[in-house]
């Protein structure tokens, strides 16, 4: 059985999925690829928007999410972030 | 005469040099914590950064205090005496105590995820009152930092036992050496044995070296990932 992902891993997975789709994605695609429930996905998306890791765009066909520079930076620094947090026991 | 600590004459100068090294290491750690906070926006990382920034400031203040205010105690030793109090000495020692307490109590809070800022503030107020009201201020100060570090060491021990990660081991060892160093300073404040001061400083150096090794490993692994 797969172990439960922590918060940082889930954020990494969501941002990774958006980046894979050339930085722009619809909510249903995130739902399928991120392996989260609809409620959890919306909670994480709200958090990511608040932290400016992604931005929401409303189009005629619906909502899309775009990854920001901050979001890309998170992906680049992810290994550093997790190693630091694990080494210094700062898991939330 | 009331002394906070006693320094052997031959060690004077080395102690200031070591305090500057400790300042550099703690500022590096604080900077790194802030960098990781900016990338992840995880709040306890900002707290961790502020904690080590506070500890760094306390080391710079201690280096200045040692340079300016130590007086001859016995032949071949110098001491930080509380007998001749000048305004500048008062301010310097007071600030050192403030940043020291915030730093070590903050380390406990950052690693234990204490529920509210009020709890943090309450512990600090009790600590400041304790230093102010106690007759042996150095004993109280270093005993208190030892207690905070003991809890912190226990936290890292639990983490290491669960994950068996090399970096976690380095941090655990580092914190353990810092704890023994604080215990040594507490003992020195009662016995006034100059060698205890030297031993405590060496233990502190070993402690911060272990923490620095862990930090360099993290940086190295991060750099390898980027270039891969």
Which is it for the CA torsion A34, A36, A38, A40, positive or negative? Answer: negative
B222 vs A: CB within 8 A? yes
Shortest Cα distance from B228 to chain A (angstroms)?
12
Give residue B52's pLDDT.
96
Nearest to B111 among A76, A81, A89 (CB): A89
pLDDT (tens digit, 9 = 90+) per residue, A8-50?
Answer: 999 999 999 999 988 889 888 898 888 889 999 999 999 999 9
How big is the CA angle at B149 (ends B143 and B150), to the nearest 5 degrees? 85
Contacts of B167 in chain A (CB under 8 A): 83, 86-87
pLDDT (tens digit, 9 = 90+) per residue, B86-142?
Answer: 678 888 888 998 999 999 999 988 888 776 788 888 889 989 889 888 888 889 999
- Rounded to a whole number, what is the distance in angstroms from the first to the last CA of chain B? 62
Interface touch A85/B42, C-beta < 8 Å: yes
Nearest to A87 among B42, B155, B214 (CB): B214
User: Which pair of structure tokens corresponds to residue B220?
Assistant: 């190295």
Q: In what order do the strands lie in the sheet with B3-8?
A: B3-8, B77-81, B71-72
Interface touch B39/A80, C-beta < 8 Å: yes
ipTM of this predicted structure: 0.86
Closest residue in B to A70 (Cα–Cα): B39
Contacts of A83 in chain B (CB under 8 A): 167, 218, 221-222
Cα–Cα dist B186/B180, whole Å: 10
B202 vs A: CB within 8 A? no
* Residue among A32, A39, A52, A44 nearest A8 (CA): A44
pLDDT (tens digit, 9 = 90+) per residue, B204-213?
Answer: 999 999 999 9
* Residue among B189, B113, B184 nearest B151 (CA): B113
Interface touch A85/B32, C-beta < 8 Å: no
Contacts of A8 in chain B (CB under 8 A): 40, 42
Q: Are B182 and B145 in contact (CB under 8 A)?
A: yes
Q: Are A79 and B225 in contact (CB under 8 A)?
A: yes
Shortest Cα distance from B221 to chain A (angstroms)?
7
Nearest to B40 among A74, A86, A89 (CB): A74
Interface touch A86/B32, C-beta < 8 Å: no
Interface touch A90/B40, C-beta < 8 Å: no
- A-proximal residues of B, 87-116, CB under 8 Å: 110-111, 113
Cα–Cα dist B216/B224, whole Å: 12
B45 vs A: CB within 8 A? yes
A9 vs B: CB within 8 A? no
Average pLDDT, chain B: 89
3-state secondary structure chain B: CCEEEEEEHHHCCHHHHHHHHHHHHHHHHHHHHHHHHHHHCCHHHHHHHHHHHHHHHHHHHHHHHHHHHCEECCCCEEEEECCCCCHHHHHHHHHHHHHHHHHHHHHHHHHHCCCCHHHHHHHHHHHHHHHHHCCCHHHHHHHHHHHHHHHHHHHHHHHHHHHCCHHHHHHHHHHHHHHHHHHHHHHHHHHCCHHHHHHHHHHHHHHHHHHHHHHHHHHHHHHHHHHC
User: In a structure prediction context, what are the per-residue pLDDT tens digits for chain B, which is 228 residues long?
Assistant: 567 788 898 998 999 999 999 999 999 999 999 999 998 888 889 999 999 999 999 999 999 999 888 777 667 788 877 665 567 888 888 899 899 999 999 998 888 877 678 888 888 998 988 988 888 888 999 999 999 999 999 999 999 999 898 999 999 999 999 999 999 999 998 988 889 999 999 999 999 999 999 999 999 887 665 555
Interface touch A81/B36, C-beta < 8 Å: yes
B214 vs A: CB within 8 A? yes
């Amino acid at each position: 059985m797969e172990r439960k992902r922590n918060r940082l891993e889930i954020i990494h997975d969501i941002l990774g999925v958006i980046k894979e789709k050339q930085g722009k994605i619809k909510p249903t695609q995130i739902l399928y690829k991120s392996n989260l429930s609809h409620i959890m996905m919306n909670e994480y998306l709200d958090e990511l928007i608040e932290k400016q890791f992604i931005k929401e765009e409303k189009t005629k066909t619906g909502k899309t999410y775009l990854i920001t520079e901050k979001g890309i930076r998170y992906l680049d620094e992810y290994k550093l972030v997790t190693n630091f947090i694990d080494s210094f026991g700062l898991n939330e | 005469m009331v002394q906070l600590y006693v320094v052997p004459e031959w060690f004077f100068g080395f102690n200031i040099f070591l305090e500057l090294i400790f300042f550099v290491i703690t500022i590096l750690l604080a900077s790194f914590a802030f960098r990781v906070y900016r990338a992840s926006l995880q709040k306890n990382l900002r707290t961790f950064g502020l904690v080590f920034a506070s500890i760094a400031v306390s080391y710079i203040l201690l280096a200045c205090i040692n340079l300016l205010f130590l007086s001859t105690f016995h032949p071949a030793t110098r001491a930080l005496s509380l007998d001749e109090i000048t305004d500048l000495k008062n301010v310097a020692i007071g600030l050192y105590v403030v940043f020291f307490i915030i730093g070590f109590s903050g380390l406990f809070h950052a690693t234990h995820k204490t529920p509210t800022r009020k709890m943090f503030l309450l512990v600090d107020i009790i600590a400041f009152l304790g230093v102010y009201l106690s007759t042996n201020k150095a004993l109280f100060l270093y005993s208190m930092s030892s207690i905070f570090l003991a809890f912190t060491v226990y936290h890292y021990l639990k983490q290491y036992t669960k994950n068996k990660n090399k970096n976690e081991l380095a941090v655990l060892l580092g914190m353990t050496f810092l704890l023994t160093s604080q215990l040594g300073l507490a003992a020195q404040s009662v016995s006034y044995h100059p060698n205890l001061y030297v031993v405590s400083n060496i233990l502190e150096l070993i402690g911060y070296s272990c923490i620095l090794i862990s930090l360099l490993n993290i940086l190295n692994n991060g750099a390898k990932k980027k270039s891969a």
